[in-house]
Amino acid sequence: MPEIEQPVGTTLPADETPNTDTRSFGPASTPTHPLATAPVGMPSHSVDGFVREFLHELNTNQGVTLSRSSVNDQYLALASTVKNYLMARWLETGRKTREAKAKTIGYLSAEYLLGRQLGNALLATDLNEVASKGLELCGLDLATLRAQEVEPGLGNGGLGRLAACFIDSLATMDVPCIGYGIRYEYGIFRQTFVDGRQVEQPDTWLALGSPWEFPHPEASVQVNFGGHTEKATGADGKERTRWVPAWNVLGVPYNYMVPGYLNGRVNTLRLWSAQATKAFDLQIFNSGDYAQAVRAQTFAENISKVLYPEDSTPQGKELRLQQQYFFVACSLRDFIDNELEEDFDLHNLPERITYQLNDTHPVIAVPELMRLLIDEHDFAWDEAWEVTRHCFNYTCHTLLPEALEVWPTELLGRLLPRHLEIIYQINEEFLDDVREAFPGDEIRARRMSMIAEHPERGVRMAYLATVAASKVNGVAELHSQLLRDKVLPDFSELWPDKFTNVTNGVTPRRFVKLANPRLSDLISDAIGSGWVTDLERLKELEPYADDPEFKEKFREVKAANKTRLTTLLKARDGIELPDGHLLDVMVKRLHEYKRQSLKLLHIVSLYEQVTSGKLSASDLTPRTVVFGAKAAPGYKIAKDTIYLINKVAAKVNAAPELEGRLKVAFPANYNVTLAEELIPAADLSEQISLAGMEASGTGNMKLALNGALTIGTDDGANVEIRRLVGDKHFFLFGMNEPQVAELSAKGYDPGSYYQSNEQLRSALDLILSGHFSDGDQHQFDSVVFNLLNEDRFMALADFQSYIDAQAKVEERYADQEAWTRSAILNVARTGYFSSDRAMRDYLQRIWHTTPMI
């Protein structure tokens, strides 16, 4: 095809002229040309049309011909091409939503762990085949170009990934939603291992270009900080408060397309980037101190510079509070100024938007909306509160006390003096209500105060969220119950109807269709393709669990996915995966409550028993354990656990007795891209948190949907997974939550388990002996002494039960027919865990709105 070497023509047919209408990003002057309101046409879905578009992008956007182009040029041109297919739909979605005055979901989240965009965009537009063929005609390979994309890692783990799944589902269900968040210049760090230790590298996801974002500096929003407040009486005799801020920054919106699956809807994700305002530029001229002025600029831009890498353990840093206020201030402002009609009466705001607070990170939006209404729109307090409390809902994601954010009033007052005043007043009025509901119970009123007095005076953000929200939800049935009974009991007693549950879900588009095309084809061949948007239809697979031909094909799919993973890990990490092993997968953030240490004790125990001759290697089920986990950079025990896993892996993998029997693989930098490769290959899913500690988990759902069997505790959504797939197809072990509470109350003594369990003692002793640390007996004190002396998450108490459950795993795996049957039933019975269902539950129980028709 020599003609494709020619640069393509520069003139497009009229209906393909790029539209310059910017109304979806703010009010524009009334368009005069008829074409200015009509969205652009869509490029043709033919292979030729695609090639033409692709080469046009390569020539005009990248400024290269095909023969001179790099893989990165080709990837960027391909991304632009796919965007062109989505563009008309995107513009149309914005127009339609504004015209219908439909209620919008404002999803407020400090994190979005999106994963790569290209594959998902091709899926949503049904362009996979066309793109693949078109690129082939150009001598290019789609998979190679897809691999060029660096995923935007703008989240830590489950919470950020949940936000990404939710916005995918809302778009697919035709529900108007704007996701609001922060465009971190550096997302979650890139994990490397140096001599087995985690070393963090900055995530330079923007370095090679970011084709999926649309910056709109002209729509920037000013955000104020610091200063003080003043009271003044106006001409009307009313007293008003004025915030006199000390400094400000600009929030620049970057829009991302959120395409629904094959339905033509494209919602928007709007991430804010911080920039210095003009005030800083002026300083350059006025002060003459150029260096100082540039420092000020850097200071402003620091706000969106980096994602805090703590998962479930906030550090209470000033910059973090700046980030939180920065993005919610921009977001509230954006909706009022740009999405509503100019004459819109803000008393009716709850009819047009409902804000979902993804954990406490965006809760400062509550006093911010109050401030906007009272100080800038002249609302009376009661009127403003009436609107505010109908605009917000709050999702709690944890039970760990250390994960609940408390901002020192000193810091809050210094950074946001007006907001602290408003919080105090909300609290006062709330405590009046408490005293009215429970007369004479002053202790209760103190307990429920949003202001904590110890260890220092601070605002309990979860309480503020609970008071302001219409609905408060936990993320799995058990978690929601514990939230009501243990975390917020006073509040659920006061307002029982405020509390509800929505069990989390994951998007079947990314985590089945995209990640596991072989399984997807097998399912679609059996039951049709409707399951992709109606996942409960996987139920129709149940009869196939007894169909020998289907079972054989199911095993072939799993084997092929393992081969795909083997190829990837070889190239990515130099890891060799043996053939034909049970693939035992534990992938999630490294956290004590998730108990990677328990999995490690299982491995060490197998190693100890075989190398000491207590157990014959030939009795082991050939197994490869794969870990994927990042630790927060300041979380010492977690980082030491990573080091210990790598040291144990080195010994296990080098032991000749274990050759072909046990292997431990720990590819670095677990992220969404790696998850999409690992999960389809997994046989066994490790969900082994201490009961009552994992709010929901979503990794558990992804793995079950891809045909892995779970070994897990009665925790989070595991409870519901087990109920749905059936006890026979789930390996339950360990204490349940009431048993944990009972043991806790009695006084937990990990040492007693060490003393009484020979197998456990041998494993711990082997670590203590320095065997895994070149003779250094103290290398792993932090991990082992912690287990022996404190063991806050009771790994030792659940050890024996875990070992017993692993024996049952081996027994089942030995019977491949039985195992395959269980695996198919896991797929067939976990359709409930689609994030589409989760969104339907939010629509019914929390948002009280319906899809657009």
Site stretch for ligand PLP (CB under 6 A), options 141-149, 227-235, 443-451, 666-674 = 666-674
- Residue with token string 């409870």: 719
The helices-and-strands tally (H runs, E runs) of the chain is: 33, 25
Look at residues 50, 125, 40 and name the one whose alpha carbon lies nearest to residue 81.
50
Residue-wise DSSP of 606-671: HHHHHHTTSS-GGGSPPEEEEEE----TT-HHHHHHHHHHHHHHHHHHH-GGGTTTEEEE--S---
Task: Work out how close the CB of 153 gets to ligand PLP at its nearest, in angstroms, rounded to a whole number.
Answer: 8
CA 458 to CA 455: how far, in whole Å?
9
Supply the minimum distance, in Å, between the C-beta of residue 693 and ligand PLP: 11
Active site residue 20: no
Q: What is the 3-state secondary structure (H, E, C) of 454-488?
A: CCCCEEEHHHHHHHHCCCEEECCHHHHHHHHHHHC
588 flagged as catalytic: yes
Which CB atom, from 589 or from 771, has the smaller least distance to ligand PLP? 589
CA–CA separation, 481 and 434 (whole Å): 22
* Distance of closest approach, residue 475 Cβ to ligand PLP, in angstroms: 10
Question: Residue 599, interface with ligand PLP (CB under 6 A)?
Answer: no
Q: How many residues bind ligand PLP (CB under 6 A)?
A: 13
Supply the minimum distance, in Å, between the C-beta of residue 209 and ligand PLP: 23
Among 135, 462, 672, 681, binds ligand PLP (CB under 6 A): 672
Q: Does 120 bind ligand PLP (CB under 6 A)?
A: no
Three-class DSSP category at 516: coil
Catalytic residue among 270, 558, 562, 702: 702
Largest CA distance in the chain: 91
State the residue for tokens 């190829």. Answer: 567
| Residue 672 or 787 with smaller CB distance to ligand PLP | 672
| Tokens encoding 57 | 């992008």
Q: Quick one: which of 265, 479, 581, 588 contacts ligand PLP (CB under 6 A)?
A: 588
State which residue, 515 or 794, has the beta carbon closest to ligand PLP.
515
The residue among 107 and 670 lying less far from ligand PLP, judged by its C-beta, is 670
Identity of the residue, 212 or 670, whose beta carbon is nearer to ligand PLP in the bound complex: 670
Residue 750 interacts with ligand PLP (CB under 6 A): yes or no? no
**Region from 47-55, 322-330, 491-499, 670-678 binding ligand PLP, contact rule CB under 6 A:** 670-678
- Name the nearest CA neighbour of 39 among 109, 86, 97, 73: 86
Using CB under 6 A as the binding rule, whether residue 675 contacts ligand PLP is answered as: yes
> Which of 671, 710, 820, 822 is the binder for ligand PLP (CB under 6 A)?
671
Shortest distance in whole angstroms from residue 706 CB to ligand PLP: 12
In whole angstroms, give the CA distance from residue 793 to residue 803: 17
* CB crowding 707-741: b at 16 or more within 10 Å, else e: bbbbbbbbbbbbbbbbebbeeebbbbbbbbbebbe
* Partners of residue 501 on adjacent β-strands: 474
Task: State yes or no: residue 119 binds ligand PLP (CB under 6 A).
Answer: no
Q: Per the residue annotation, which of 361, 553, 588, 812 is the catalytic one?
A: 588
Q: Which of 594, 602, 661, 829 does the annotation list as catalytic? A: 594
Q: Which stretch binds ligand PLP (CB under 6 A): 157-165, 250-258, 325-333, 516-524?
A: 157-165
Nearest approach in angstroms of CB 307 to ligand PLP is 13
β-pair type (228-233, 239-244): antiparallel
Our finding on whether 157 is near ligand PLP (CB under 6 A) is yes
> Taking CB positions, which residue lies at the least distance from ligand PLP?
699
Q: Which part of the chain contacts ligand PLP (CB under 6 A), choosing from 317-325, 359-367, 692-700, 729-737?
A: 692-700
Residue 448 CB, shortest distance to ligand PLP, in Å, is 31
Task: Establish if 161 lies at the interface with ligand PLP (CB under 6 A).
Answer: yes
- Token duo for residue 377: 């729109």
CA–CA separation, 173 vs 192, rounded Å? 39
DSSP state of 18: P
Tokens of 3: 């003609």
CA atoms in the 13 A half-sphere facing the CB of 820: 20
- The minimum distance between CB 811 and ligand PLP, in angstroms, equals 25
Q: What is the DSSP letter of 302?
A: G
Nearest to 115, CA basis, from 677, 809, 840:
677
> Is residue 697 part of the contact set for ligand PLP (CB under 6 A)?
yes
Residues 6+ apart with CB under 8 A from 24: 90, 91, 94, 95, 268
Q: By three-state DSSP, how is residue 532 classified?
A: helix
Q: Which stretch binds ligand PLP (CB under 6 A): 79-87, 177-185, 363-371, 695-703?
A: 695-703
Binding string, 545-584, against ligand PLP, x = CB under 6 A?
----------------------------------------
Report if residue 690 touches ligand PLP, rule: CB under 6 A: no
Question: SS3 letters for 603-616?
Answer: HHHHHHHHHCCCCC
Site for ligand PLP in 449-468 (CB under 6 A): none
Asked whether position 698 contacts ligand PLP by CB under 6 A, the answer is: yes
Cα 535 from Cα 786, distance rounded (Å): 43
Nearer to ligand PLP, 158 or 350 (CB): 158
Compare residues 702 and 837 and give the one whose CB is closer to ligand PLP. Answer: 702
d(CA 824, CA 813): 14
User: Min. distance of Cβ 686 from ligand PLP in angstroms?
Assistant: 9
Does residue 667 touch ligand PLP according to CB under 6 A? no
Structural contact between residues 724 and 830, judged by C-beta atoms closer than 8 angstroms: yes
Neighbouring C-beta atoms of residue 289, cutoff 10 Å: 12
164 or 519, CB closer to ligand PLP? 164
What amino acid positions are annotated as catalytic residues? 397, 588-589, 594, 698, 702
Binding site for ligand PLP (CB under 6 A): 157-158, 161, 588-589, 670-672, 675, 697-699, 702
